[in-house]
Structure 1
Amino acid sequence: MEGLAMAKKETRFQADSLTSQGTIMTHVITDKTTGVQYLLAISPNMGSGLTVLVDADGKPLLNKVD
Structure 2
Amino acid sequence: MKKNDRFIKTYTQGTLNQTEIWVDRETGVNYVYHSAGYSGGLTPLLDKSGNVIVTTIEL
CA RMSD of aligned residues (A): 1.6
The size of the alignment, in residue pairs, is 57
**Unaligned stretches of 5+ residues in structure 2:** none
Number of the residue aligned with 1:61: 53
Identity %: 26
Q: Provide TM-score, normalisation by structure 2.
A: 0.82
Q: Provide TM-score, normalisation by structure 1.
A: 0.74
Q: Mapping of 1:2-13 within 5 angstroms?
A: 9-10=2-3, 11-13=5-7
Number of the residue aligned with 2:12: 18
Number of the residue aligned with 1:27: 20
SS of match in other structure, 1:49: strand
Give 1 or 2 for the bigger CA radius of gyration. 1
SS of match in other structure, 2:47: coil
**Unaligned stretches of 5+ residues in structure 1:** 1-7
